[in-house]
Every structure is written in structure tokens, then in C-alpha cells.
Structure 1
Amino acid sequence: MKLIVLTGIPGSGSTTLLNKTLEEVDYLHLNYGDIMTEIAIEDKIVDNRDELRKLSPDIQKGIQKKAARRIKEKSEKENVIVDTHCTIATPSGFLPGLPAWVLEELLPDMFILIEANPDEIIYRRLTDTTRVRDMESAKNIKLHQEMNRAASMAYATLTGATVKVVENHDKHLDSTVSKIVELLK
């Protein structure tokens, strides 16, 4: 069984690609934040996802570790693709989306990074009426994608996973989905 981590910055199209890819492959899709929320609600720590970020860092770390363990257990029975953030841009800098205590439990086989041109990302963010997106300059979007690349290689060094960057350009959805499907076989 395979455990794949798929990630992309907001506006990269990773969610759209993932949903189309899941129509063609037999993988269980798990969203890391959803699993964390599920655990925190089961443990009666929070009532909803928005309360997670208000918890102390130590409590969040414990929930992250439990989520990784739960995901790993599911991957022992079926192929799993995890949708999560590789890095998170904050006002004080970038945070790793998958810290060491998560990677130790998760041990993924592959990281797939979805990227697009900064101008494409800006346009997608501006035209996506279903979400409230932070606006960033093309320079900051490029930096965020570079940070994802650096972080994913560090994650791969710790886990032995491979890293594949998949470009997701406008009007190429079908061919990009085909590339991901091939990677997952």
C-alpha cells in the first residue's frame, strides 16, 4: 500500500487536481486538518475545526501526532493520499506543515507538490468566490513555492520518500491529472 502526500499553496489548483485524480485511481483521500479535527472532537478538546488553532502548541502537537498515526494505520490497509500544507505562510515566517513528530509517524512514500506560475495563482485567487484568500505578490508566491520545495526535500531526507513537482497550468487540467495518475500507479 502507498501513502502519498499531495500539497500546493492556495490557488495552485491542488484541490481541483486531487478531486479529478480521485475519479481515476483507487486511493482513500484524507485531509490532514479534517483528521486532526475529528480527533480533537473525539477527545472533547474542541467543538469545531476553527478552535484547533486556538489550542496551545503542545496540545496541537499531540493531536498532529495522533492524526499521523491514524493516517498511517489506514495506509496499511489501502492506498492513501493525504491533502495537507507543506508549509504555512505566517506573518512571522514559514511554518513546517509536517514537523518531525508527524513525519516519524506518517512515513510517506512520496510527496507531490502542485505548482503554478505566480500570475496564474493570483488570477485564481482573485476569481475564486468560494474562498477568502490572502492576496500576495508574485514574488511572495514564488518564495512560498520555493519554501515548499525546500521543505519537501527535507521531509524526504527524514523519511526516504521521493518528491515530484507537478506543474498545473491553466487549460491543462486533463494532462496534469494524467501525470498524477501515472505517479500513483
Structure 2
Amino acid sequence: MSNVNIVVGLSGVGKSTVLEEAMLLADEEYEVINYGDRMYETAKEQGLADSRDDMKDIGVEKYKEIQKDAAESIVEDAEDGNVIVDTHAAIKTPYGYIPGLPKWTVENLDPGKIIVLDASAKELYRRSTSDSGRNREHDSPDDIEEYRQIAREMASAGCVLTGAYLKIIENKKGKAQEAARELIDTLKA
């Protein structure tokens, strides 16, 4: 059984909150690794970025290399214990959607489970418009619904490539602790 599990979700779904709550409820220890942070650390070590903003200026081929290197470092961390990778299944760009878990990344991570943390499009829109402290990419509930579906499809594709289980957990308003319990139960199964 893989020591790596992946939790994905759109901005505003409450991944950080649910993961923090889940770690308080867990009987086992898990290291939660934000994949974007690990990519930035990798790029910084290679002298390619001084800030997360610099990541967007890295060429496509080098960016793919950084994704691979970051995944390899996460796999090394998983040799010593259970790892949860916090990331996005899909990333919306001005040119369309790109996978947050491309083939070379998800196959390298070889997760036991890919868990989609989700909420309704209307709830995600409400959260994004009420949170002035963060810049969300959601323009309308219809836009969010499309993004949700694309992200689910990309997460499913990751499961097809690796044989990982797919679980969708709803994070309803005010119910983060319930979502956290379901996440822990899923990880233990």
C-alpha cells in the first residue's frame, strides 16, 4: 500500500481547514505537503526562482522537470511515513485548463488514494466573494461548475493511470469537522 495519498480541491473549498482538522483527529501521523510549495522549493534550490511569482516565468520543459523533481522528493519523504499531497487536480489558465497532476507527476507519486474535496458551485462562489483576503479565480457559479467537472475528470484520470482509489468528500458549510472525519476514515480504509 502506498504511503502517498493526494487531496485535491478548488480554491475556496476549504482544503487547508479540513486537512488541519483531520490531522487533529488522526490516530496516525501524516505529513501534509503542499505540492506547489515543494515545486517552488525545488525551483529555488536550482536557482530558477526567488519567489512563487517567478515560477510562471520558467519555460515549459524546465517546469515539467521541476514537477518531476518535486514528486521524487515527496516519494522520498513517504519512505519514512504517511504523506498527504495537497494540490489541485486542474489549474485554470487564460488558455484553458491544465492538469495539476500530469501523467509524469501522478505516476511518480503513485498514490493509494486521490481524494477530491468538493462543495457546490454556489457555495464555492459564495465563499470566494466573501473572502476579500484572497484572490480567487471564480467568476460565476456556472464558471465554477465547469471547473469542478474538469477537476473531477482530471482526478479520475490520475486514478486510471495509477490504479488509485477515487473518493469525493463534500465539505458543506460549517461541516469541516465532518469532512475531516470522512477524510481520516478514507485514509485508514
Same fold (TM over 0.5): yes
Aligned-residue Cα RMSD (Å) equals 1.2
Q: Which residue of 2 aligns with 1:79?
A: 82
Question: Do 2:110 and 2:162's aligned partners in 1 also have CA atoms closer than 8 Å?
Answer: yes
CA distance in 2 between partners of 1:70 and 1:60 (Å): 15
CA distance in 2 between partners of 1:120 and 1:44 (Å): 40
Deviation (angstroms), 1:69: 0.4
Corresponding position: 1:50 with 2:56 = no
Aligned pairs for 1:1-185 within 5 A: 2-25=3-26, 26-185=29-188
In structure 1, what residue type is equivalent to 2:17? T
In structure 2, what residue type is equivalent to 1:65? K
In structure 1, what residue type is equivalent to 2:62? I
CA distance in 2 between partners of 1:67 and 1:131 (Å): 26
Deviation (angstroms), 1:104: 2.4
CA distance in 2 between partners of 1:134 and 1:89 (Å): 8
Identical-residue share of aligned pairs (%)? 35
CA distance in 1 between partners of 2:142 and 2:19 (Å): 26
Q: Per-residue displacement from partner, 1:45-93 (whole Å, max 9, x unpaired)?
A: 1112110111100110110000000001111210000001100111221
CA distance in 2 between partners of 1:33 and 1:97 (Å): 10
Deviation (angstroms), 1:15: 1.7
Of 80-89 and 175-184, deviating more is 175-184
CA distance in 1 between partners of 2:112 and 2:139 (Å): 32
Deviation (angstroms), 1:5: 0.5
Structure 1: unaligned runs, 5 residues or longer: none
CA distance in 2 between partners of 1:110 and 1:32 (Å): 16
Question: What TM-score comes out, normalization by structure 1 length?
Answer: 0.95
Question: What TM-score comes out, normalization by structure 2 length?
Answer: 0.93
Deviation (angstroms), 1:16: 1.3
Q: Per-residue displacement from partner, 1:133-176 (whole Å, max 9, x unpaired)?
A: 12321111111111111111111111110110001110212211
Deviation (angstroms), 1:130: 2.4
CA distance in 2 between partners of 1:5 and 1:178 (Å): 16
Q: Per-residue displacement from partner, 1:14-60 (whole Å, max 9, x unpaired)?
A: 22111211222210010001111111111111112110111100110
